[in-house]
């Protein structure tokens, strides 16, 4: 029996591509010199497509996928996927939640500890020979007993909260609506929460509704002893204000995994000792990325088994 045709919209990790090719007749749109011409001729052959949060799925592409019934996306974020328009066109969009919760939460903790304990700055301090020359590194900050505010308390945020409790932190949170089952104090006012906290961790979806929610005012309220961690999306923070306040010391420290214009990072951050930078590595472990790839495949298999 011939394999079902499958359209891959953008580059994928080798393991996932191999697993898809075992099961489907994979065609790679991103390798076509004339992608539009290819779709005009071949779109009717594909009932399914695969994308990623990096490649995305915009309305103009959805209009070209005239026979596609399901798009399976590698990643949990949907801010680069026009899910509402896809559903309007009768296309189901599936992603890969849950399997990345633990490792993404771990990255939040890593960034919080690395920033508060001056991990990167002290690494440079040792490598530069300053310790050997008899200099002393400045004292860092602890987190035990400190109030840490989560901006977002979804799947990943809840895991972060559990891990913070193990470090002896007092967890509080800000969401649009209070979560009745959450055993943590809820703040309606994000600025007030920032003012009361030693650290803020952003873990909420990207998109228009959350753009710039971590404003200059929020960061200023966090203050010169405060630490900001972002593992959400670069768009949720006023990035220009973040850079300026880190430079001036009005914000104490930051650990940043996501940026507005990835992979471009504001160069002003490169020389700062009070910020830890990561290249969007929240879920980037071998184990989690394999689990995400397996979910992409299983999403397709479950759909075709039922349809």
Catalytic residues: 233, 262, 280
Burial of residue 5 (CB within 10 Å: 0-12, 13-18, 19+) is middle
* Whether the Cβ atoms of residue 203 and residue 231 lie closer than 8 Å to each other: yes
Q: Measure the CA angle with vertex 154, ends 192 and 282; round to 5°.
A: 95
Max CA-CA distance within the chain?
Answer: 73
Q: How many CB atoms lie within 10 A of CB 263?
A: 7
Question: Quick one: which of 221, 226, 230 has its CA closest to 274?
Answer: 226
Quick one: how far is CA 302 from the chain centroid? 26
Determine the Cα–Cα distance for residues 247 and 151; give it in Å rounded to an integer.
23
Runs of H (alpha helix) within the chain: 14-23, 35-42, 59-64, 83-88, 101-116, 119-127, 155-166, 190-196, 216-222, 239-248, 286-306
Determine the Cα–Cα distance for residues 207 and 79; give it in Å rounded to an integer.
5
Determine the Cα–Cα distance for residues 180 and 196; give it in Å rounded to an integer.
22
Please state the length of the chain: 307
Determine the Cα–Cα distance for residues 249 and 101; give it in Å rounded to an integer.
32
Determine the Cα–Cα distance for residues 34 and 91; give it in Å rounded to an integer.
24
């Amino acid at each position: 029996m011939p394999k079902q045709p499958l359209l891959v919209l953008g580059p994928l990790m080798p393991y996932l591509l191999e697993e898809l090719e075992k099961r489907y007749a994979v065609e790679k749109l991103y390798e076509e010199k004339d992608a539009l011409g290819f779709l005009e001729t071949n779109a009717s052959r594909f009932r399914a497509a695969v994308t990623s949060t990096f490649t995305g799925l915009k309305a103009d592409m959805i209009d070209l996928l005239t026979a596609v019934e399901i798009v399976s996306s590698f990643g949990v974020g949907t801010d680069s996927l026009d899910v509402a328009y896809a559903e309007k066109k009768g296309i189901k969009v599936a992603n890969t939640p849950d399997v990345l919760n633990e490792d993404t939460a771990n990255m939040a903790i890593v960034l919080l500890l690395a920033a508060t304990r001056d991990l990167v700055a002290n690494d440079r301090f040792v490598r530069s020979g300053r310790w050997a020359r008899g200099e002393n590194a400045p004292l860092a900050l602890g987190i035990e007993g400190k109030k840490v505010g989560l901006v977002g308390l979804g799947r990943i945020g809840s895991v972060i909260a559990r891990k913070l409790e193990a470090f002896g932190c007092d967890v509080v949170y800000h969401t649009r609506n209070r979560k009745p089952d959450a055993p943590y104090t809820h703040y309606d006012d994000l600025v007030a929460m920032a003012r009361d906290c030693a650290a803020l961790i952003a873990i909420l979806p990207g998109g228009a509704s959350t753009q710039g929610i971590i404003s200059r005012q929020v960061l200023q309220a966090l203050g010169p002893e405060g630490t900001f961690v972002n593992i959400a999306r670069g768009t949720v923070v006023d990035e220009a204000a973040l850079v300026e306040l880190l430079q001036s010391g009005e914000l104490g420290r930051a650990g940043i995994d996501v940026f507005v214009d990835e992979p471009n990072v504001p160069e002003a951050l490169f020389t700062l000792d009070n910020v830890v930078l990561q290249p969007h590595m929240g879920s980037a472990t071998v184990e989690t990325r394999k689990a995400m790839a397996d979910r992409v495949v299983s999403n397709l298999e479950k759909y075709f088994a039922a349809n």
